[in-house]
Each structure stands twice: as C-alpha cells, then as structure tokens.
Structure 1
Amino acid sequence: MLTDLSRSRDFPSLHGLTYLNTAAESIPPLCVGEAIQAYWQDKQKGMRGRDGHFAAVEQCREVSARMLGMATDEVAFCSCSSEAYNLLASALNLAAEDEVVVTDLDFPAGATPWLRAVNAPQVKLWKATGGELQASDLEALLSERTRLVQVSLVSFYNGHRIDWQPLVQRVRERAPRALISVDVTQALGRVELKCPEADIVISSTHKWTLGVHGGCIIGVPRRNAEKLTTHAGGWYHLDNAFDHDRFDRAVPKLGALSFSVGMPNFAALYALNAALRYVDGIGVAAISAHADPLVQRLHAGLIDLGLKPMCPLHAERPTGIVAFMHERSAEIHAALERAEVHVMHSAGRIRLAVHGYNTAEDVERALEVLSSVK
C-alpha cells in the first residue's frame, strides 16, 4: 500500500515498531494531526470559527457516505458506538414481548443496550460454532416477534467475518418485521464493505479508519428513516429547536440525522474527514490487496507454530484480524512487548491486526518472537 518513503513520511511513529494492534487503536497519518490543528485554528476565531466547523462536518459526511455507499442525507455522526446503540434503542422503543438477537462475537456496545432497557425485550444469543456464526444456527432464534438482529461485519473478538447473504436471507424469510443492524467498526477502512441490505450501519472512528476518539458514523437508508428516528431530546437534531413552538413540541430530523442530538465533536470530525480521505485516496481495495496476504501468512504461520487461530480464514470474506487463545498468553504477550511487537492481550487471548501500513517484515517479526516463546 505504501512505499518505504511514504510510510516513513506519513507514519513516522512506526519506525522501529511492529504495530499489529489497529483493531484496538490505529496510528493515524500525520495529515490527521494537521486536521486537528486546523480545528484549533478555527476554534481560535470564536463564533466565526463555526463556519469552518460546520463546513468540516459536511465534508466528513460526504466522504463517510461515499465509503459506506450511501447518500449524504443518510449519514450522520455522534460521539461513539455506545451512544449510537443507545439511541437506536430509543428509536426502536421495544416492549417486553419483542425479541432481539445478538451474537457472542459482538462488542458489548451493540449487545448490552437491550439488556439495560427500562422495558427490556427478550434477548436471544446467536452462538458461534468453531469460531464462526452459522446462518443455520440463527434460524431457530427468529420469529414474528424478532425486531432486531445485531451483528458485527467483522468480529472484534476473533476476526470472523460474517457470511452476509445467508444472514439476510434467513432474517427476511423468518423474521419479516426485523431490522438488521451491522457494526462495521472492524471493517470500515480495511476491507470492502458488502452489506447492502443493512437497515442501519454503525462504526467507531479510531480504528481502521485511522481517525481519533470521540466520533461515530451512523448510516440509515432512506427507506428506514421514519422507523429509525430517535426519541432523544437535544437540539441539533431538531427541525424546530429555536422556533416559537419549541416548548410545545420537538420535531426531529428523520433517520440518521436524528442521531446527532447535540453539538458535533468537531475535532473528531476534522480528524475523521482527513483520515477517510487519506484511506480513500489509497483505496480500500488496494489496502485489502496488500494486507490480506499478510493476514494469510500470519494465519498459516500460527498454525505452523502449533498455535490454533480462533476462526478459519475465507478468501472471499477477508478480515484484518487473527486471534488465538493460549494458557501462557500473559508470558507470550510480555515477550512480544519486549520485542516492540504490539498486539492485544485479554483474558487468555492474543489478537493481531494487520492494516495497510503493515509490512511482511512486521508479520515475520511477530512469528519469530512467537516461535521463541510458544
């Protein structure tokens, strides 16, 4: 994806570092820091700086929509995926007799709002088999009462990429009232998105997109705008926030725009605009073409070392993540850290993540260290 020169220029902090932890935190290119500085310069103008602030939001909306394959009025922003999912719960306003399906490979942000609701729906768990979610296992969980099926396109936990079309087919056939919500946090900016029938798309901004904290992208197709309009209070998402009738009624903008309930986190959106344009300038297809073989090499290398990846790889469904469990995971992680090989370690699990700024040398270095301590 990058030449030695452009990698050194755009990501100087990678010098001497084997960074395989983008699934937790990305290392943004320098242009993202420059964008944050541009926000600061606009902020120094006081109220006049808002011209730059709101222009940056619209620029970010345009590139976000393009990367999601959506129209600009179908995309908006909030502060994080946890906020987005709680606002989704507000929009759906489910009752105790309604049912929600979540998976055991999903991040807590997408799974727990339904457990915390005042009138909690019935939550059903779609469990992985052999590290993968099988559509055949989903069938028994679906019914006329199913209102939402929540999945991640790529799992944060083990890197499994869901087989999209069988999922959609099962849901549309067996749960006609259900909406499909997909978290693309571990996919956007790394692999080409192929989830065209999603009813709502949600993504954090500080991982593969190369942005920073404090942002979240929400995409709601026009067909779902009315049914996915939040019931939250606020002002930025209201059509009549300052009208004469504002204390009599609150009229929300519809769909995705209703998720932006308050003043945008401008700094995060300046950063995201720069980050996505950097990624888009290279091309997600080019990123995937560069990084997917490195993931395949890493996956095969782990097997050669007797370390069992937590899920299979499928060439037609690329992913940036490989993970394995080990009883000596803390010792393995410590050895990797000493060698300046950065990965994620949690509860016996080692997770490695390969992005476009990674190299074959990064993968071989990680495998070399693992071979010495496994």
Structure 2
Amino acid sequence: MAHLPEQYLQLFPILQTHTMLASCSQSALAEPVSRAIQDYHDSLLHRGTNWKEAIEKTESARNEFAKLIGAEPDEVAIVPSVSDALVSVASALSVFRKKHVVYTEMDFPAVSHVWQAQCDYHISVIPSIDGVMPLEQYETHISEETVLTCVPHVHYRDGYVQDIKAIAEISQRKGSLLFVDAYQSAGHIPIDVKEWGVDILAAGTRKYLLGIPGVAFLYVRKELADALKPKASAWFGRENGFDGAYAKDARRFQTGTPAFISIYAAAAALSLLNHIGVSYIRNHVKTICADACHYAAAKGLQLASAQGGVQPGMVAIRDERASETAELLKKKKVICAPRDEVIRLAPHFYNTKEDMRHAIDEIAVKMIDK
C-alpha cells in the first residue's frame, strides 16, 4: 500500500479503529461522502428547499458514473436499485418477438426473482461447472430465440470474474441483448461498456462505489434505449417531466423523484473513485488478494474461490458457520461479509496486505477453536 497516498487512508475514519473488509456488502464511509450527506441535510435544515441543487447533484452523479464505465451521460438512468433497473428492462422487452431469457446460477437471487415473476417469458438458467462459467456454457444456452442474457460481472459469493467482452461477442452473434450486473465490480474493476459491446449494465452504490443505499445506475446503449418503451417509467423518464413523451435517451427508464440524499453521496463517492482511477484500484486489490489467497492456504483454510483464470475480486474462505464467525470477528473489530457457508474478505483501495492477513489470522484461530 506504500504507493497509495496517506491522505486517502485518512479519508476513512473507521480505519483508525476497525479492519474493514466488507466492500462486497457495504464499503467504508469516506469523509467527502459523509460531508455530502450532511450538506443535503443542512440545505433542508437551514434553507428549507434544495431542488435546484439536488438536480445539479443528480447530473453530476450521472456524469461521474458515465465516466466510470466509458459511457455517455445520456445513456445513464438513475434508479432506486439494481432490482428496479432489471424490472424496468424486463417491462420494455415486449417490442421484441423473442420470449426466451437466460440468466446464470451465479447471478444474485434478485435476478431470479425478477424473471420468475415474468409470466410472458420462457426462462433458462445457465449452470456453472466446478465453480466457474466456461464460455462454452453461453454458446450452449444462448440461442437465436434468446432476447436477453443476464450475467454478473463478478460472482457475489466468491468473487469469480467473468470475461464480459467474450460473453458479449457470443450474445451478439446469437442475436441476444446482454444485461450485466456490475454491482460487485463497479468501483474496483475497470469497465468499458463500449469496448466490450455491452447493451445494458446496472450497478448500485453501497458496495465498491463507496455510497449508501437508495440509488443505482442503469446504462442502456443509446441506439437500444430509443427503441425501448419501459412500462416502469414516470415523470423523471419523460421529455420535459410533464408531457407523455418518453425521454430521448436512457432517462426514459427513470421513474419518480430519486433519493436525493443518496444522490449527494454518490456524486461525492464517484468523484473520488474517478480521481484515484479504477485501473489503479484493480491492480492494488489483485495484489493483496493474491497474497491473501496464498496466506490463507498456508494457514490451512479452504478457499471457496475458483482457482485459475482471472484473479478473483475478493477472497472467499469456506466456513460452515460463517455468520457465527463473522460475529466473532466483529468483536475483534474486523468487519467482513459472510454469505451462506463462506466468509468473504472484500478489500478496497484503502486496505492493506496486513489487513487481509490480520483477518485471516483471526479466522484461523476461530476455526481451530470450533
């Protein structure tokens, strides 16, 4: 971590007392983000209204997210959550005759919930093989009748990173649109929707994007957005807010007034990430995760992450009582994120190799005690 300026570490007060390794669930709160939240509060407390300022913050957040993923601002809609984004996308696909949708068993459960509620579609689930998703699986399960393929950029459970550009090539060749859930990647893995050929992408802010719940971003390729008419659309998705015409870009996927307090936080957080540079963050996270994987193995811990290929976006350790272990670690001021029978150690740019080793040491002690 020697190359990371000390000023960045000082932006996170929690790091003075805790080891924060839960970015796959909730990142540490930075001082600029905290100040932005306070600014929203103060503007209402002392001025009574902040509509114009809030709209300006909304556009700032939109611009910063577009920069983060290599998109144009008018290709980005602001929505309450990634689940809302997918519901809105599902409501807009009726313009196509195809009725087949595929998603993967690596997708977050909310993806399944959305599609299982869609009565008009034939749904297929792409199974993984030994914890990985070979490209051959997409070749097999995407057909010429597939209207949309849903994939996670990073598997929420163990950090497995997929080759989105290669998947996009397959889906395009088969005539399917591609929806990418980037909730577990945006903010610590570089994304270029144009270079990769992504049609639709969504990400929320509370994880690696350093924000808080209440806002997410939906990218829709410009040419595609103008062809879709989402049923989940309201006045923020209209041309001037008051008539019935859809907005002439991805904004048509917006509904009502957004959670401005979360917008303020997002604008500050995204600005910080773009200032540091996601490529730098990815290199740092890969380095400390690689060290942690070797260290955990040396301690006799079993990794849940699939080995080989792209370095996982986190370190996942098998533990039959993961939630119990996480609570014990919390008492030691080590914050991690259990999921099922896995302890997830999800670092960000503010973490060090020593942070990861300290957490692994504590987990190893708890495993012995059990």
Using the size of structure 1 for normalisation, the TM-score is 0.90
Q: 1:295 is matched with which residue?
A: 289
Distance 1:16 1:233 in 2: 44
Q: What is the deviation of 1:216?
A: 0.4
Residues 94/299 of structure 1: CA separation in 2 closer, same or farther (3 Å cut): farther
Once the two structures are superposed, what CA deviation does each residue of 1:132-164 show, in whole Å capped at 9, x if it has no partner? 111112222122211110011111111011122
Counterpart among 355, 360, 368 of residue 367 in structure 1:
360
Residues 330/236 of structure 1: CA separation in 2 closer, same or farther (3 Å cut): closer
Distance 1:238 1:338 in 2: 49
Q: Which amino acid aligns with 1:183?
A: D
Residues 270/318 of structure 1: CA separation in 2 closer, same or farther (3 Å cut): farther
Task: Report matched runs for 1:140-289 at 5 Å.
Answer: 140-173=140-173, 175-176=174-175, 178-195=176-193, 196-239=196-239, 241-243=241-243, 250-289=244-283
Task: Report matched runs for 1:334-353 at 5 Å.
Answer: 334-353=327-346
Distance 1:369 1:94 in 2: 54
Secondary structure of 2:166's match? helix
Matched residues, percent identical? 28
Checking the alignment, whether the CA contact within 8 Å between 1:92 and 1:227 is kept in structure 2 is no
Distance 1:25 1:115 in 2: 27
Residues 146/333 of structure 1: CA separation in 2 closer, same or farther (3 Å cut): same
Q: Which amino acid aligns with 2:41?
A: W
Checking the alignment, whether the CA contact within 8 Å between 2:211 and 2:266 is kept in structure 1 is yes
Q: What is the deviation of 1:336?
A: 2.4
Using the size of structure 2 for normalisation, the TM-score is 0.91
Residues 224/337 of structure 1: CA separation in 2 closer, same or farther (3 Å cut): same
Distance 1:358 1:231 in 2: 42
Once the two structures are superposed, what CA deviation does each residue of 1:54-100 show, in whole Å capped at 9, x if it has no partner? 11111111111111101111112011111111111111138997111
Q: 2:114 is matched with which residue?
A: 113
Distance 2:207 2:324 in 1: 26
Q: 1:99 is matched with which residue?
A: 100
Secondary structure of 1:93's match? helix
Checking the alignment, whether the CA contact within 8 Å between 2:158 and 2:316 is kept in structure 1 is yes
Residues 123/362 of structure 1: CA separation in 2 closer, same or farther (3 Å cut): same
Q: Which amino acid aligns with 2:287?
A: P
Q: What is the deviation of 1:259?
A: 1.7
Secondary structure of 1:112's match? helix
Q: What is the deviation of 1:345?
A: 1.8
Q: 2:65 is matched with which residue?
A: 64
Q: Which amino acid aligns with 1:338?
A: K
Secondary structure of 1:181's match? strand
- 5+ residue gaps, structure 1, are 244-249
Q: 2:319 is matched with which residue?
A: 326
Distance 1:166 1:320 in 2: 18
Number of aligned residue pairs: 362
Q: Which amino acid aligns with 1:278?
A: L
Q: What is the deviation of 1:304?
A: 2.1
Once the two structures are superposed, what CA deviation does each residue of 1:227-278 show, in whole Å capped at 9, x if it has no partner? 33312242121126434xxxxxx32114420121111221111110100111
Checking the alignment, whether the CA contact within 8 Å between 2:169 and 2:197 is kept in structure 1 is no
CA RMSD between the two structures = 2.2
- 5+ residue gaps, structure 2, are none
Checking the alignment, whether the CA contact within 8 Å between 1:103 and 1:126 is kept in structure 2 is yes
**Stretches (4+) displaced over 4 A:** 94-97
Secondary structure of 1:355's match? coil
